[in-house]
Structure 1
């Protein structure tokens, strides 16, 4: 069960993580004319920081609530990519390379298919609403 301290730390970490993501995207859009570099930057930065901080915080004996605030809160709202890459790494190190490969390759592929399915469904909703409005 998660403690109230952990929940508060996650919530307090999430705000600066989300704001960092937003401002990197805004800066990227202004600088390069696209959000892609901002997304790439936060994903790579988040993955690096997750790989660096998660083991160090545990090794240093940092309290669970603070560790959760940094990793789940800040880095999790900065990018879920950092969590995803840590999970793939954990699966590989725990001796489950097949599942690691499936997860690593399946997540973006299935994620793309889900986005496309959602877009297709939204078009159906729009067509239905337009048909209803025409009656």
Structure 2
């Protein structure tokens, strides 16, 4: 990819990411206004909606109905800003679709457990120094 195309692709991802992040923020604000406490319903809702949207987008890309610039804008940008869980879910689905169930299981468990461990480590280390 030449520099011009890379710059254009980066701009598409950035613009989409801003929209996705704003949508995520508004979903959280709506949950707060509705009195959400305790259970992270906004996060769950965003992750499920993002997964659904990523599935629709992936099917359209597969059928050749979505061009690469739109895939970058919507998939990497908007959905990436809205929830990275949608990309994770798509990757798991693709592994399952290829018949790599054990790989998908390992990837899913490793992603969740290692991410949880990383959050805990970052929190504990930072708390001890801050």
Task: Give the Cα–Cα distance (whole angstroms) in 2 for the partners of residues 29 and 96 of structure 1.
Answer: 40
Name the residue aligned to 1:25. Answer: 28
Name the residue aligned to 1:79. Answer: 83
Question: Where does structure 1 differ by over 2 angstroms across 4 or more consecutive aligned residues?
Answer: 1-5, 32-35
Name the residue aligned to 1:41. Answer: 45
Task: Give the conservation status (yes or no) of the 8 Å contact 1:6–1:64.
Answer: no
Task: Give the Cα–Cα distance (whole angstroms) in 1 for the partners of residues 9 and 65 of structure 2.
Answer: 15
TM-score, length-scaled by structure 2: 0.88
Task: Give the Cα–Cα distance (whole angstroms) in 2 for the partners of residues 33 and 3 of structure 1.
Answer: 41
Deviates most, 116-125 or 77-86? 116-125
Shift of the alpha carbon at 1:96? 1.9
Shift of the alpha carbon at 1:58? 3.7
Task: Give the conservation status (yes or no) of the 8 Å contact 1:12–1:73.
Answer: yes
Name the residue aligned to 1:7. Answer: 10
Establish whether residue 96 from structure 1 lines up as the match of residue 100 from structure 2: yes
Deviates most, 18-27 or 56-65? 56-65
1:88-111 deviation per Cα after TM superposition (whole angstroms, max 9, x unaligned): 111111232211001112211111
Q: Say which one has the larger Rg.
A: 1
Give ranges in structure 2 of 5+ residues lacking alignment. Answer: none
| Structure with larger RCO (C-alpha < 8 A, sep 6+) | 2
Name the residue aligned to 1:133. Answer: none
Give ranges in structure 1 of 5+ residues lacking alignment. Answer: 127-135
Name the residue aligned to 1:132. Answer: none
TM-score, length-scaled by structure 1: 0.85
Task: Give the Cα–Cα distance (whole angstroms) in 2 for the partners of residues 107 and 29 of structure 1.
Answer: 28
Deviates most, 93-102 or 27-36? 27-36
Residue aligned with 1:87, SS: helix
